[in-house]
Structures are given as C-alpha cells and as structure tokens.
Amino acid sequence: MPNDCIFCKIIAGEIPSHKVYEDDLFLAIMDVFPTTCGHVLILPKKHAQDILDLPVDTAAAILPLAQKLAGQIYAAFHPDGLNMIQNNGPAAGQSVFHYHMHLIPRWESDGAVKQSKPIKISPKELANMATTIRNNS
C-alpha cells in the first residue's frame, strides 16, 4: 500500500473511522466530510487506485454490497433518493486515490449534488463514439 494512503491507514486501523460494515474484501465507513446525513463510503481493503486498477472479483462484489447498504440507509434515514457515485481521476473529482464508492442519501431539493447539463451531440457523432468504444474492447 502507498504510505500516504489515508484509506489504507483507516483499513489498517491506524486512523479511526465509524464502521458501517466489514468483510474480507470491504470496509464501509461514514464519510467524515459528508455530502448529506448518512453518506457512506465503501472501500476495498486491498489498495487499488481506481476502477481500472480494481481486481475484477472485487469489482463484481461491490454492487451487491452497495445494494445491501443502500437498503440499510433507506431503512435508517428514509431519504427520497440515493446517489451511488464513484470518481476516477482528478478530472472526475477523485481526491483520494484509493478506489471508493459513495452512497449518498438524497432529499428533494437538498441541492447536494449538482446535475450536469448534456452536451450537444449529433446522432452521427454518437454512432462514431459507440464504434470507437466497441473497437477498444
């Protein structure tokens, strides 16, 4: 693990956290800088920088855990909705470079997460993008 990774230090117990869930692969904790009340982070225990670095078995296991914890958050706080957000790279808003998924309960008009505006794009450009992505499989 990188010596300066705050999430690795939390997983190792060197920095305290408010644990929500733990198993062999994951630790889920309360975000200490929450976007809303009930904001949870899911951390894989083995350091991985981002989605491209995450082992496929860990990637496959995170969504069922996110679903389970989302259910617990709904039951606990009765939000109107919930965002699952996962940022990769500084341009996407990643600030801690240890893969993590945010579970952010939402309430009507909380204004907590800004919705993006769609860019203008033609059907031909969309078709070209789909082809380009398919060609990189």
Active site (catalytic) residues: 100
Phi-psi region of 45 (alpha: psi -120 to 50; beta: other; left: phi over 0): alpha
- Which tokens sit at 16? 């305290």
Cα 135 to Cα 35, 108, 121, 126, distances in angstroms: 38, 41, 20, 14
Stretch that binds Zn ion, among 18-26, 93-101, 103-111, 113-121 (CB under 5 A): 93-101
Nearer to Zn ion, 44 or 79 (CB): 44
Kindly identify the residues of this chain, within the stretch 31-50, that bind Zn ion according to CB under 5 A: 47
Quote the least distance from Cβ 35 to Zn ion, whole Å.
Answer: 21
Contact (Cβ atoms closer than 8 angstroms) between residue 53 and residue 99:
yes
Query: Is residue 7 at the binding interface for Zn ion, with CB under 5 A as the rule?
Result: yes
Nearer to Zn ion, 22 or 80 (CB): 22
Residues that bind Zn ion (CB under 5 A): 5, 7-8, 47, 98
